Every structure is written in C-alpha cells, then in structure tokens.
Amino acid sequence: MTYFFETYGCEMNIAESAAVEQLLIARGWTKSESAQTATLAIINTCSIRETAENRIIGRLGWFNGLKAVRECKNGAKTKMLEEAVEYVKNGPKPLTLVVMGCMAERLLKDFQKNFPFVDYVVGTYAKHHFSEIIEAVEEGRKAFEVDDTENYKFASVSAEPGHFSTFVPIMHGCNNFCTYCIVPYVRGREISRPAGDILKEIDVLGKMNVREITLIGQNVNSYMGAMKEGENPCINFASLLSIVAEHLRQTKSPIKWVRFMSSHPKDFTDDVIDVIAKEDVICRHIHLPVQHGSSRVLKAMNRRYTREHYLDLVKKIKTKIPEVSLTTDIMMGFPGETEEDVELTLDLMRQVKYESAMMYFYNPREGTPASKEKQLPVEVRKERLQRVIDLQIEHTREQMSKRVGKTVRTLVEGVSRDNKMELLGQTERHEKIAFEASSSLIGTFVDVKITQLSGNTFRGEIAN
Ligand code: SAM
Ligand code: SF4
Ligand code: F3S
C-alpha cells in the first residue's frame, strides 16, 4: 500500500507529518510520488494566513475530482488526473483522504460538513489515532469519526525519512496570544515534552544517520519540562540545551549540530546566550522573530517587549557570540500602523542586519483581537511589506558577500539539482553552498572555502 503527503505550514507540521510517515513505513507502506496512484493521501493543513487556507481549499477541490475518478464515478478527467484514469483502467481503486493539522482543528465539524468527500478529519489533538486509521484502511473498513478531545501526545520519533537534518519537537502550543495570531486557538496551551523523551529520540535519530537537529516549539525559550513526566524539578531551556550538548558528547553521537526555533525575545535569557557561546554543538544561528520595529505596534500586537529591549538583546548576543547569524520574522500592515512605524522597522533592520527574514503582510484571522480593529487597505499592507523585502534583499546580499573567501564547516546534504556534478550543503549559519566533490561525502561534515556568491547560494571548493 502507498501513501502521499502534502504538508503546509511550519516546522511543527513538517515534524507531525514525518511522525505519521514513520508509522506508515513501520507497517510496510511505501511512499507514492503522486496522489493519483496512492492508497492514502494526507493533507497536513495550516491556518496561519488566509492565503494558506485558500490554497488548501483549492487543493481539496482537486482531490474531490481525483476521488471521483478513482471511484470511477463521473468524468472529472482533467489532464492532471490522466495518471489516475490509467490507474483505474481495470476497475475502481478508492482513495482514502485524510485532512490533519491546524485547519482541521479550527474547522473540525464544519470541515466534515463542507467537504464530505474527506474520509478523516484529524485535529491537532487526535494525531495518535493514526494507527487505528491506517489499520482501518489496510482492512478496507469504513471511515469512523475521530475523537479530538484528548490531551496532546508527542510522537516518539518525528524524523523525515532519509534526511540528515530533522526537527525534534520539545514543546507544543502557545500561551502568548499575540493579538494577530491563530496558533494558541488551534494548538492550545503550552506543554513541554519531558527531557528524557527528547534524549531518547535523539539517540534513535543518531542511529538513523541524522547529523543535525532543530529543537522546535512556538516559543522554545519558555521550555519548562521535567526529566520524566510528572517529575520535579523542572528544567528550563538553557539547562535543556546543556543536557542535550552533554548527552551528545557522552554518547559520541553523530549529531554534530543543534539548532532551535522559534525564540520569543521576551523570554530569551542570558543563560541561553551563555550556553550557545560555550557549547560548540549549538549552531551560531539564532532565529529571533521581531515582528515589528515600533514599540507602539509591538504593544498592540501583545508581544510584551519593546524595540529597545530587542535591540539590547541583539547587542548582548552579538557581544557574547561574535560570529552569530541572526534571522527573523517581520509582519507589516498591522492595524493602526503609521508611516513612522514603518520607518522604525526599516531602521531596526538596518541596525540588526539580519542574514535573512520571513516577511509577511498582516492577515486578519477570525477570532483574534486584531481582526476586530479597523484594517489598513491591502494595497498599503503589501506596499509596506515590499519596502521591507527590498531592504532585506540588500542586507542578505551584503551579509553573505562578506563571507566570500572564508572556509566554513558544511553538512553535505546531496547532489545539486541544477548541476549533477556538484554537491549541495548547508553551513552552520544555515546558508546554501554548492561545490564539486565526490558523492561519497554526502552525509558528512566537510570544510569548504567560499569562492563566490551566486543569488542566495555560495559556490565553493573543498578546503585542504
Ligand atoms: N511563535 C513564533 C513567534 O512568536 O515568532 C511564530 C510562529 S508563526 C507560526 C510564524 C510567523 O507567521 C509569525 O512569526 C508571524 O510573522 C506570521 N504570522 C502569524 N500570524 C499572522 C497573521 N495573522 N498574518 C500574517 N502573518 C502572520
Ligand atoms: Fe503566535 Fe505569538 Fe504564539 Fe508565536 S508567540 S505562536 S506569534 S501567539
Ligand atoms: Fe500553521 Fe499551525 Fe504552524 S497554523 S504555522 S501549521 S502551528
């Protein structure tokens, strides 16, 4: 039997899709390159922006057509579905369609009503029902309704099959209620995964050839987990980083790089900066979402830090970790934002000089406080975002150009798609680098001298 995954949204969704994939693989399923010929198709959804939800709704229409062809119902035979038509030449081969993730959680009952062709709607709290769902598909049983009222359970392993870099969830949910954000409503309150379980997963990942892990949560700096479920005392994020670093050393793990995301600037404490400065295994790369450069807007967003606090934090980080690379998230066009606020954001960007940034224009989300405020016209939001993007493009180029001539540690990830003679790797600062070398180096760490910057990718040569 074969499965097909379509995953939208953040690292949490990527990790949760990977955990289900691990379950399927363990039961002997194989991955299908297309939904047209898969037994089971799973769409993992995101609600963060309206644009994300609209795209998913469009895809659901396509899957509805695909299911009709697979059941040999009517003639929804578009060119895209030709492969499916070929596949059912000798009779119907029904497709089981599952929708999981944040949009499934947000719309739950409405989802089933509006998209009756979806077989299972699995909210964020119901993922552990996947074994039963897979069993039912294997046995050709009819779909059942999934109970979504239980506590969140972390999967034991969330590695993406065949990847050298993978995500390790350490927290779930969010307590911050930024006034624009839907996450606390679809993911619930923060819970921290026991440190002992995190270490167990890390051991498994080492055996699966993983070389780099990223500890993930919506706000990893507020981690407060015990070693074991229900135990005391609790460990904070700085201690967790130290424990992970020590464990990797003691077990002589092949995992040589540890990252984490996302950090909330209000909770980023000095002890975390000190651990990063001390432990070589923790990458000198911090994703520190600022969202905005105006303290007035930050207050309206309920971010609970000011522009000054953020800039002081950046100064502290750069002083203690001089070679650090900083990346961020920025959102423009929040209700009430003025031209002066936009200038403050551009000015903050000039002071910090981010290596790269994820940049968005504000989208009102149903049920969030900011959606009830008077909205700026979409063209204004988009134009302001464009100014931020243009400045970031300049900064990325400036920051990356400075690195030409340096020799950098690189994790070799695979053969370059554009040029089969080249390998593609990733630096500690999360930059892409292409260089000619033997494919036997894939999955290892090598030193590469950067010779050139081409777009957003470095070119280089193996250093002797
Ligand atoms: N927990 C992370 C933090 O506090 O920075 C953010 C996680 S959120 C999944 C990723 C990014 O989506 C946010 O940093 C924000 O920039 C953006 N985002 C969230 N809600 C949004 C909205 N309503 N409109 C546009 N962008 C949004
Ligand atoms: Fe959303 Fe704010 Fe929580 Fe991040 S910290 S997930 S932006 S509510
Ligand atoms: Fe989207 Fe849910 Fe992540 S809303 S960004 S998939 S937590």
Tell me the CA distances in angstroms from 138 to 79, 95, 415, one per residue in order. Answer: 29, 12, 36
Please tell me the distance from the alpha carbon of residue 135 to that of residue 121, in angstroms, as a whole number: 16
Please tell me the distance from the alpha carbon of residue 369 to that of residue 49, in angstroms, as a whole number: 15
CATH number of 2-139: 3.40.50.12160
- State the pTM of this model: 0.96
HEC string of 436-463 equals ECCHHHCCCEEEEEEEEEECCEEEEEEC
Please tell me the distance from the alpha carbon of residue 42 to that of residue 60, in angstroms, as a whole number: 11
Nearest CA to ligand 2 atom 5: 176
Which ligand sits closest to the CA of 12?
3
Q: Is the omega angle on the peptide bond into residue 242 within 30 degrees of 0, that is, cis?
A: no
Nearest CA to ligand 2 atom 2: 178
Calculate how far, in angstroms, residue 186's C-alpha sits from the geometric centre of ligand 2: 11
Amino acid letter, residue 175: N
CA angle 100, 105, 107 (to 5 degrees): 110
In words, the CATH class of domain 407-462 is mainly beta
Tokens (6 digits) for 62: 């396509």
Pocket test for ligand 3, best of 10, 100, 122 (most atoms within 8 A of CB): 10
Calculate how far, in angstroms, residue 157's C-alpha sits from the geometric centre of ligand 2: 25
Please tell me the distance from the alpha carbon of residue 385 to that of residue 363, in angstroms, as a whole number: 12
Which ligand sits closest to the CA of 102?
3
What DSSP line would sit under 340-394, residue for residue?
A: HHHHHHHHHHHHH--SEEEEEE----TTSGGGGSPPPPHHHHHHHHHHHHHHHHH
Report whether 255 contacts 213 (CB < 8 A). yes
Tokens (6 digits) for 77: 């035979």
- Compute how many other C-beta atoms are within 10 angstroms of the C-beta atom of residue 153: 13
Spatial CB neighbours of 208, under 8 Å, sequence gap ≥ 6: 159
CATH number of 154-283: 3.30.750.210
Tell me the CA distances in angstroms from 188 to 172, 185, 204, 329, one per residue in order. Answer: 8, 6, 28, 22
Calculate how far, in angstroms, residue 280's C-alpha sits from the geometric centre of ligand 3: 31
- DSSP bridge partners of 120: 98
Tell me the CA distances in angstroms from 271 to 276, 316, 342, one per residue in order. Answer: 9, 12, 33
pLDDT tens for the chain, residues 1 to 464: 999 999 999 999 999 999 999 999 999 999 998 999 999 999 999 999 998 899 999 999 999 989 988 888 755 556 668 888 888 888 888 899 999 999 999 998 888 889 999 999 999 988 889 999 999 999 998 888 888 777 889 999 999 999 999 999 999 999 999 999 999 999 999 999 999 999 999 999 999 999 999 999 999 999 999 999 888 778 999 999 999 999 999 999 999 999 999 999 999 999 999 999 999 999 999 999 999 999 999 999 999 999 999 999 999 999 999 999 999 999 999 999 999 999 999 999 999 999 999 999 999 999 999 999 999 999 999 999 999 999 999 999 999 999 999 999 999 999 988 888 899 999 999 999 999 999 999 999 999 999 999 999 999 999 97
Ligand 2 site residues, Cβ closer than 6 angstroms: 174, 176-178, 181, 183-184, 218-219, 264
Calculate how far, in angstroms, residue 44's C-alpha sits from the geometric centre of ligand 3: 10
Please tell me the distance from the alpha carbon of residue 363 to that of residue 347, in angstroms, as a whole number: 23
Is 335 strand, coil or helix?
Answer: coil
Could you state, in order of their start, the residue ranges of all structural domains in the chain? 2-139, 154-283, 407-462
Please tell me the distance from the alpha carbon of residue 260 to that of residue 276, in angstroms, as a whole number: 11
Q: Is 363 in the pocket of ligand 1 (CB under 6 A)?
A: yes
For the CA of 365, the closest atom of ligand 1 is 23
b (16+ CB within 10 A) / e for 9-48:
bbbbbbbbbbbbbbbbeeeebeebeebbbbbbbbbbbbbb
CA angle 353, 217, 6 (to 5 degrees): 95
Nearest CA to ligand 2 atom 4: 218
Please tell me the distance from the alpha carbon of residue 330 to that of residue 57, in angstroms, as a whole number: 26
